[in-house]
């Protein structure tokens, strides 16, 4: 509380990211990072960069990353004005809320979803209508047939990991021709279907992706959006009214290299899907209920309603997972898929704790 | 114009940064970059980083950079909650406008100043009262004695290069105890006086600095703010409602190393001041009027009112400077101070063009 603060600052309820411990003591399964290093080509791009050029501003438009996105999705013939890049998908999402989702009618999103959405809505003073998931944590698109100024959801959803089929997304797009439908595909590469194939067909579709998960570059801060030129222009206008150069020179070259290394992305994603499958089996054998995940994390309910105490006990034993002390979520743990070795250690510890 | 845009997007008038040509053909004196490379210690920090750790999120709080700022200004005994870090001073300024400068009373800033200020004000719909500089392009602090919700100006000012003495800033702070006074010190290291010494004394003072100029890291995107904890908290609340991790892992370690390399900063700043001095003499010999600059650029009026044509002719000859086609500015060129060799080439070309 301060006389100097802009009035709305008093009402902000900032996002709280998962813990980032500064030591390396933990098996870190709490912020959905990739357990494998970034593409060797991304690392090579940084190692061979002329670091003296850091004295010069980066390309404000991030064209090298836009071109990489266009090449990666080349079967869809994207143009440069159909791609937007930003400082992590969190910054991209902030500009989306500011530029495309503030309308007289409320924004719709699921009650259980990325917990940054209500924070953005509050920052930009966007009215919202929060739609409960079904009891089984799936999205019922029929619940979104109400007046709205936009719709946003992650696909797969977080923290459930459950994916919505492409046909359902297409139905949502058809039912809401006057609203932007934002599909936040942060976790799409771990087994869900991307909606990028629908971009040319639907003027109201915006896809957001990140390099922090399947491309293992959380530490370098890159995200992008894909949509028709009209939507992208709104994001560029907002971005260029906020910060001209959000991506630094090293992020640009390493990000582009990572996007173009399609083989490495597939290798990493398939490895994580395989580990996810064996982890789910192991948890189910211990009596956990695990939601069907298409993401690089799982949402799992321990057998005897002891989620919070398990979170603490695992932390004492050097394993960080994420616990949300909120209605409907507080019986579950969100567990990032690590390496096979890390997940074996998790299962070993859990066997002792719930056995 | 689009049905999908948030209403205010239609009225945005985005900032236009100086050209960033993708080839290296030009002597680049148009965006106030440093002609010298970053500190060898900053380069070393990147070269010795474990790039596999880029899979992990960075520290959302940027503590390593905050600690470096505290150490750099150690005679002022700053605390960690008196420092804010962001993705370039442009992002820091955006959060300042959002979090500290939106009030019922208008924001005051000079008519000739950093041209991003009106863009931010428009983005956040902040009412402004724009105060003309004197005819000699200096700030008259008596003109700021009017009801206001905040005051912002660069010191030295841009694009004039003229500095305001510390005593005048202190008077402004005393006259406006209920408004935040933001001193944007992007160019302060080239011979002006920083107001950091006043932070502990004035609850309404906020200083903003950047690593893009004297620390030669424009390509890495770092800026910071210094003020009492109350002001910094507003910035943290806004930042954590927008993007938790604006600084990547490499920016954090290289930025901290650059801030701590005090000797290199002094070496670079003194070299640029020396080159500025000889450049001004050379321009004056050619009949230019040059405003007294304390920055790493000069604002110079050609002898026969041919600023715009000189801008174009210099560009044809491989030298980029900045020309602003706006009232009061359109008779001048803003010329970044490069190396001695670059400025000799500039003077050689100008001698041919105006001789």
Q: What is the pLDDT of residue A25?
A: 81
**How far, in Å, CA of A303 to CA of A354, rounded?**
8
Q: A51 and B51: CB-CB below 8 Å?
A: no
**How far, in Å, CA of B16 to CA of A105, rounded?**
32
Mean pLDDT of B88-109: 98
Domain(s) labelled CATH 3.90.1150.10 in chain A stretch across 18-37+263-354
Q: Phi, psi (5° rounding) for residue B256?
A: -60, -45
Q: Find residues 54-73 of chain A whose CB sits inside 8 Å of chain B.
A: 54-60
**How far, in Å, CA of B218 to CA of B136, rounded?**
30
Q: A248 and B245: CB-CB below 8 Å?
A: no
Cis-peptide into A179, omega within 30 deg: no
Running DSSP on this structure, what letter comes out for residue B67? H
Mean pLDDT of B180-196: 98
DSSP secondary structure of A225-264: EEE-HHHHHHHHHHHTTT-S--S-HHHHHHHHHHHH-HHH
Q: Would you tell me which CATH number, out of the four given (3.40.50.12160, 3.40.50.300, 1.10.10.10, 3.40.640.10), belongs to the domain B40-261?
A: 3.40.640.10
Structure tokens at A107: 């924004």
Percent of chain A with pLDDT over 90: 95
Q: A58 and B33: CB-CB below 8 Å?
A: no
**How far, in Å, CA of A92 to CA of A234, rounded?**
12
Q: What is the pLDDT of residue A18?
A: 81
Instruction: Say which residue the tokens 């019986």 belong to.
Output: A331
Q: Which H helix or E strand runs over A216?
A: none
Give residue B10's pLDDT band: very low, low, confident or very high (50, 70, 90): very high
Answer yes or no: is pLDDT of B17 > 90.
Answer: no
CA gyration radius, chain A: 20
Domain A18-37+263-354 has CATH 3.40.50.300: no
Q: B122 and A56: CB-CB below 8 Å?
A: no
Strand partners, A107: A128, A150
A and B: number of Cβ contacts within 8 A:
264
B98 within 8 A of B238, measured Cβ to Cβ: yes
A55 contacts on B by Cβ (under 8 Å): 33-38, 216-219
Chain A contact for B48 (CB, 8 A cutoff): no
**How far, in Å, CA of A255 to CA of B193, rounded?**
39
DSSP secondary structure of B162-199: PPPPHHHHHHHHHH-TTS-EEEE-TTGGGTPPPSGGGT
**How far, in Å, CA of B19 to CA of A58, rounded?**
11
A16 contacts on B by Cβ (under 8 Å): 240
Q: A60 and B203: CB-CB below 8 Å?
A: no
Chain A contact for B289 (CB, 8 A cutoff): no
Q: What is the pLDDT of residue B98?
A: 98
* pLDDT average per 10 residues of sequence, chain A (355 residues): 91 88 85 97 98 97 98 98 98 98 98 96 97 97 97 97 98 98 98 98 98 98 98 98 97 98 98 98 98 98 94 96 92 97 97 90
B58 within 8 A of B245, measured Cβ to Cβ: yes
Q: A46 and B43: CB-CB below 8 Å?
A: no
- Of A17, A58, A59, Cβ closest to residue B244: A17
Give residue B87's pLDDT band: very low, low, confident or very high (50, 70, 90): very high
Percent of chain B with pLDDT over 90: 95
Strand partners, A227: A206
DSSP secondary structure of A274-301: HHHHHHHHHHHHTT-EE----SSEEEEE
Q: A54 and B219: CB-CB below 8 Å?
A: yes
- Of B4, B35, B98, Cβ closest to residue A230: B4
Give per-residue burial for A58-80: e unless 16+ CB within 10 Å, then b: bbbbbebbbebbbebbeeeebee
Q: A35 and B55: CB-CB below 8 Å?
A: yes
For domain A40-260, give the fold: 3.40.640
Q: B87 and A234: CB-CB below 8 Å?
A: no
Q: Find residues 87-116 of chain A whose CB sits inside 8 Å of chain B.
A: 87-88, 90-91, 94, 98-103
Q: What is the pLDDT of residue A21?
A: 80
Chain B contact for A208 (CB, 8 A cutoff): no
Task: Determine which of A186, A243, A255, A322 to mutate to test the interface with B (most B C-beta atoms within 10 Å).
Answer: A243
Chain A contact for B244 (CB, 8 A cutoff): yes
Chain A contact for B51 (CB, 8 A cutoff): yes
Answer yes or no: is pLDDT of B1 > 80.
Answer: no
Q: A218 and B56: CB-CB below 8 Å?
A: yes
Cα four-point dihedral sign A130, A133, A139, A142: negative
**How far, in Å, CA of B226 to CA of B81, rounded?**
9
**How far, in Å, CA of A309 to CA of B79, rounded?**
35
Q: Find residues 109-168 of chain B whose CB sits inside 8 Å of chain A.
A: 119-120, 122-123
A215 within 8 A of A272, measured Cβ to Cβ: no
Q: What is the pLDDT of residue B19?
A: 80
Distance from CA of B128 to the nearest CA of A (A): 14
**How far, in Å, CA of B100 to CA of A130, rounded?**
30
**How far, in Å, CA of B109 to CA of A57, rounded?**
26
Q: A51 and B57: CB-CB below 8 Å?
A: no
Q: What is the pLDDT of residue A17?
A: 85
A294 within 8 A of A160, measured Cβ to Cβ: no
For domain B7-38+263-354, give the fold: 3.90.1150
Distances (CA, A) of A123 to A6, B99, B126: 12, 10, 15
Structure tokens at B320: 């980029």
Answer yes or no: is pLDDT of B24 > 80.
Answer: no
Mean pLDDT of B24-36: 92
Strand partners, A223: A86, A210
Q: B37 and A56: CB-CB below 8 Å?
A: no
- Of B51, B244, B249, Cβ closest to residue A90: B244
**How far, in Å, CA of B300 to CA of B354, rounded?**
13
Domain(s) labelled CATH 3.90.1150.10 in chain B stretch across 7-38+263-354
Task: Determine which of B23, B34, B51, B86 to mutate to test the interface with A (most A C-beta atoms within 10 Å).
Answer: B51
pLDDT 10s digits, B312-343: 999 999 999 999 998 889 999 999 999 999 99
Q: Which residue of B has its CA nearest to A229?
A: B2
Give residue B99's pLDDT band: very low, low, confident or very high (50, 70, 90): very high
Mean pLDDT of chain B: 96
């Amino acid at each position: 509380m301060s006389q100097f603060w802009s009035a709305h600052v008093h009402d902000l309820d900032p996002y709280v990211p998962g813990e980032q411990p500064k030591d390396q003591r933990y098996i870190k399964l709490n912020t959905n990072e990739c357990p494998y290093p970034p593409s060797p080509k991304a690392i090579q791009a940084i190692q061979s960069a002329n670091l003296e050029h850091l004295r010069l501003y980066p390309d404000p438009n991030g064209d090298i990353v836009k071109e990489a996105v266009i090449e990666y999705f080349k079967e869809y013939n994207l143009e440069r004005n159909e791609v937007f890049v930003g400082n992590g998908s969190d910054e991209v999402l902030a500009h989306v809320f500011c530029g495309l989702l503030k309308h007289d009618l409320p924004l719709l999103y699921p009650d259980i979803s990325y917990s940054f959405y209500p924070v953005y809505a509050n920052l930009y003073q966007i009215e919202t209508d929060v739609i409960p998931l079904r009891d089984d944590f799936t999205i019922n698109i029929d619940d979104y047939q109400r007046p709205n100024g936009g719709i946003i959801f992650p696909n797969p959803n977080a923290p459930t990991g459950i994916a919505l089929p492409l046909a359902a997304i297409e139905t949502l797009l058809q039912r809401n021709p006057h609203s932007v439908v934002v599909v936040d595909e942060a976790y799409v590469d771990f087994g869900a279907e991307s909606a990028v194939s629908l971009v040319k067909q639907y003027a109201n579709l915006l896809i957001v992706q990140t390099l922090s998960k399947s491309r293992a570059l959380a530490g370098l801060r890159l995200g992008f959006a894909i949509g028709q030129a009209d939507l992208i222009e709104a994001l560029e206008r907002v971005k260029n009214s906020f910060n001209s150069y959000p991506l630094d020179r090293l992020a640009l070259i390493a990000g582009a290299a990572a996007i173009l290394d399609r083989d490495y992305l597939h290798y990493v994603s398939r490895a994580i899907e395989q580990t996810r499958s064996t982890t789910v089996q192991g948890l189910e054998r211990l009596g956990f209920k695990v939601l069907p995940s298409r993401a690089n994390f799982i949402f799992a309910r321990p057998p005897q309603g002891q989620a919070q105490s398990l979170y603490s006990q695992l932390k004492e034993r050097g394993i960080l997972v994420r616990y949300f002390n909120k209605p409907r979520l507080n019986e579950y743990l969100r567990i990032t898929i690590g390496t096979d070795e890390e997940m074996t250690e998790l299962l070993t510890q859990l066997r002792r704790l719930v056995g």
